[in-house]
Chains A and B, each alone.
Chain A
Amino acid sequence: SQKIEQNSEALNIQEGKTATLTCNYTNYSPAYLQWYRQDPGRGPVFLLLIRENEKEKRKERLKVTFDTTLKQSLFHITASQPADSATYLCALDGNGQNFVFGPGTRLSVLP
């Protein structure tokens, strides 16, 4: 069956460290993958999109990789800050149809 998994449900890291979040998928062949940030009680906000032919994409302190062989995307936040604490969702185009979202990883950056 088709599945999207994001590492642990919650991840705690120390301020200043690099946070690495994982998105793994099964039985999908996405051409695109997006990452969103969601704060409690709010709607998700788009962060980055990466295409299957792009190995890596950067935006300020954010970096996303996309490995279609491993069926995995990694999302990195360097020099993390307490303000980065949120839930991060990956989403991929489900076989050319609408985007399918993963369950999210709740990141807590501790001061």
Chain B
Amino acid sequence: DGGITQSPKYLFRKEGQNVTLSCEQNLNHDAMYWYRQDPGQGLRLIYYSQIVNDFQKGDIAEGYSVSREKKESFPLTVTSAQKNPTAFYLCASSRQGLSPTYEQYFGPGTRLTVT
């Protein structure tokens, strides 16, 4: 059963703590993405990776970090430097990066609440 998994579905953290969100895909896709979604706003791109061991900042990368050591995995760390970390985080993948003809497959999302 191919797809993208994100864990956990809900995550609670205290302010000042770093937290890592998991994203795994078994679609054999080259490209992976992290988005943040806030109420009333579109998805905003945090980081993306077109290939293993390479990634680029998106529009709102400050306060976040990623790694891409394996093709199927693209974890996102929300650091204490992120000023408003409470949000719904979505991971996605596509067959090829930076190609607008390929659809993106999204995971179920992780809702992070920082208090």
Name the interface residues of B71-105: CB closer than 8 Å to any CB of A.
90, 92, 97-98, 100-101, 103-105
Binds B, one of A13-21, A59-67, A74-82, A100-108: A100-108
CB of B90 within 8 A of CB of A102, answer no
A111 and B92 CA atoms in complex are apart in Å by 33
CB of B101 within 8 A of CB of A98, answer no
Number of interface residues of A (CB under 8 A): 26
Name the interface residues of A48-107: CB closer than 8 Å to any CB of B.
49, 89, 91-93, 96-104
B109 CB to closest chain A CB (Å) equals 5
Within 8 Å by CB of B43, from A49, A92, A101, lies A101
CB of A43 within 8 A of CB of B92, answer yes
B32 CB to closest chain A CB (Å) equals 12
Interface of B is mostly: loop
Within 8 Å by CB of A46, from B35, B100, B104, lies B104
A4 and B59 CA atoms in complex are apart in Å by 15
Tell whether B63 is near chain A: CB-to-CB under 8 Å: no
A89 and B37 CA atoms in complex are apart in Å by 12
Tell whether B2 is near chain A: CB-to-CB under 8 Å: no
Tell whether B45 is near chain A: CB-to-CB under 8 Å: yes
Bits for B25-41, please: 1 = Cβ < 8 Å to A, else 0: 00000000101000011
Are A103 and B40 CB-contacts (below 8 A) given A43-B92, A43-B109, A98-B48?
Answer: yes
29 contacts between A and B (CB under 8 A): A4-B42, A30-B100, A31-B100, A32-B100, A32-B101, A34-B100, A41-B109, A41-B111, A43-B4, A43-B92, A43-B107, A44-B90, A44-B106, A45-B106, A49-B103, A92-B100, A93-B100, A96-B98, A96-B100, A97-B98, A98-B45, A98-B48, A98-B58, A98-B97, A99-B100, A99-B104, A101-B35, A102-B42, A103-B40
